Amino acid sequence: ETGVTQTPRHLVMGMTNKKSLKCEQHLGHNAMYWYKQSAKKPLELMFVYSLEERVENNSVPSRFSPECPNSSHLFLHLHTLQPEDSALYLCASSQESPPQGSPLHFGNGTRLTVT
Amino acid sequence: KQEVTQIPAALSVPEGENLVLNCSFTDSAIYNLQWFRQDPGKGLTSLLLIQSSQREQTSGRLNASLDKSSGRSTLYIAASQPGDSATYLCAVNPKGSSASKIIFGSGTRLSIRP
């Protein structure tokens, strides 16, 4: 298996639930990212990890909690979300951070609906 | 502050036509610019990456150009096919960031009519 894999593909959760999104990359990259894509808005960078260390946190609410246990895996833990958090959450990886010269590779995303 | 704009937001052309998608950015201090394709409900697929020292990149029927001084990039699609229908996004990697802060445009939704 190659590329960037995200699970689950779809997730519906209530505002009081706790859930986690998972991302796995099989490209040997050393940087991983979480992006949020809402309807009719540009992609928003949420978190960046380089060599398992968080190097960027783009003013994301604390109800989103990232975890990077190793360079191949990235999680996004969710709790007490709001309906406006419904969006497509995309994971990406690259060979270095900041990726001055290397392209981003994206997973297919998790479509999250908060009810 | 770097801003990326893609105009038009949507474009519909008949099959077989050549077409150009536009991307503009406000600050020429970038490491590179990348074009992506996104199908409905899917992630982004990288099409072409142009380093700041390059002027164009080609892959099959796709050709991307970069003019840093004017803050513009174009994606040229030759002999368009219905399978080219998707949203095309450009993204710039600005210099001076403490970490990766790739900035995306809002995309152009392309529809190729059979």
pLDDT in tens, B46-85: 999 999 999 999 999 999 999 999 999 999 999 999 999 9
What share of chain B has pLDDT > 70, as a percent?
96
Per the CB < 8 Å rule, is A42 touching B32?
A: no
Instruction: Kindly indicate the confidence band of residue A55, based on its pLDDT and cuts at 50, 70 and 90.
Output: confident
pLDDT beyond 90 at A107? yes
Classify each residue of B71-99 as buried b or exposed e, where b means 16 or more C-beta atoms within 10 Å of its C-beta: bebbbebeebeeebbbbbbbbbbbeebeb
The CA R_g of chain B, rounded to the nearest whole Å, is 14
User: What rounded mean pLDDT belongs to chain B?
Assistant: 93
Per-residue confidence (pLDDT) for residue B39, from 0 to 100: 93
> Hey, is the C-beta of B73 within 8 angstroms of any chain A C-beta?
no
Per-residue confidence (pLDDT) for residue A104, from 0 to 100: 87
Mutate to test the interface with A, among B30, B44, B48, B50 (most CBs of A within 10 A): B44
Mean pLDDT of A46-67: 85
Evaluate the CA torsion angle B3, B29, A4, B46 in order and state its sign.
Answer: positive
Closest Cα partner for B18 from B73, B63, B50, B66?
B63
Evaluate the CA torsion angle A91, B43, B41, A8 in order and state its sign.
Answer: negative
User: With left for phi above 0 and alpha for psi between -120 and 50, is residue A84 left, alpha or beta?
Assistant: alpha
Contact B74, B21 (CB under 8 A): yes
Closest Cα partner for A82 from A1, A13, A9?
A13
pLDDT beyond 70 at A1? no
Q: Which amino acid is at A109?
A: G
Nearest chain B residue to A50 by CA distance is: B99
Give the tens place of pLDDT for each residue, B11-53.
999 999 999 999 999 999 998 999 999 998 888 999 999 999 9
- Helix, strand, coil percentages for chain A (3-state, nearest 5): 5, 55, 40
Tokens of A95: 């060979």
Side-chain half-sphere CA neighbours of B94 within 13 A: 16
Closest Cα partner for B27 from B4, B58, B48, B50?
B4
Distance, in angstroms, between A109 CA and closest chain B CA?
Answer: 6
pLDDT beyond 60 at B98? no
Per-residue confidence (pLDDT) for residue B102, from 0 to 100: 84
